Structures are given as structure tokens and as C-alpha cells.
Amino acid sequence: MRKLLLFVALVAGVVALGISTGAVDAVVEWRVKSGLMDAGIGEKRATCMAARMTDRLGILQLRKLQNMQAKDGETVEPTGLGDYIKRVRRIRDAEVVAVTGSSAALCAVGIG
């Protein structure tokens, strides 16, 4: 029992250290960037959008973006930014739509 308690405390400490140093944020941002690039968005724009999106959306909202599946008649991967935004709207989370749309627009013109 004592070993289990020590193990749990050690894991909690490692997680707290990861959160406090920003390591978790870096991993989340990298995953969002990779997902955007897989969706057909260029690396420079994906980097910009991922930074904005991870600052403004929670983990649960970001996870919703993983669940965008192609509907009948659509390609498996979005064919561009417009197709990606159309799929984001299906999530039915106004904040996700607003943040994704504004991030795409601001990063496209270089303001983001």
C-alpha cells in the first residue's frame, strides 16, 4: 500500500511539473498543428492557427476537432481551409467555430 501511495504521489508530481513547465501545452499545440496540416493547411498557417487555438480553446473543445468525419460525397481529408471550416461548423460549438474561423483569417493575412 505504501509503495502504491508513493507511486501515485510521484506520478502526480511529474504531471504537475509537466503542466507548470508548459510541456503539456507544447504537446497539445503540436498535435493541433499536426491535425491542421493533415487537413491540408500549410505548415506556416497551421503553426499560427495552432498557437491561437490552444490559447483560446479548452482540451475538450480541441478534442471535438478530432471527431470531424467525412460525410457522404466528401473527401476523407478536408481539401482546404474552406472545407475544414465547413466541417468545424458540424461540431455545433460556437466558440470552436469562432476561434477556428478567426484564427484562419488572422493567420492568412499575417496578423495572428
Q: Looking at beta carbons, which pairs linking 99-102 to residues 24 or more positions away fall under 8 Å?
A: 99/52, 99/53, 99/56, 99/57, 100/49, 100/53, 100/65, 102/52
Q: Residue 56's pLDDT is what?
A: 94
Q: Residue 103's pLDDT is what?
A: 93
- Alpha carbon distance 73, 14 (integer Å): 46
Q: Residue 16's pLDDT is what?
A: 54
- Neighbouring CB atoms inside 10 A of 28's CB total 16
3: confidence class by pLDDT, cuts 50, 70, 90: low
Local structure of residue 76 (DSSP, 8 states): S
Q: What is the tens place of the pLDDT at every residue in 20-79?
A: 555 567 888 999 999 888 877 889 999 999 999 999 999 899 888 876 777 788 787 777
pTM: 0.68
**By residue range, what is the domain housing residue 18?**
2-109
- Structurally, the chain folds into a number of domains equal to 1
Q: Residue 63's pLDDT is what?
A: 86
Q: Is the pLDDT of residue 11 over 60?
A: no
Q: Average pLDDT, stretch 91-106? A: 89
From the number of C-beta atoms within 10 Å of its C-beta (0-12, 13-18, 19+), residue 83 rates as middle
In contact, 33 and 47? CB cutoff 8 Å: yes
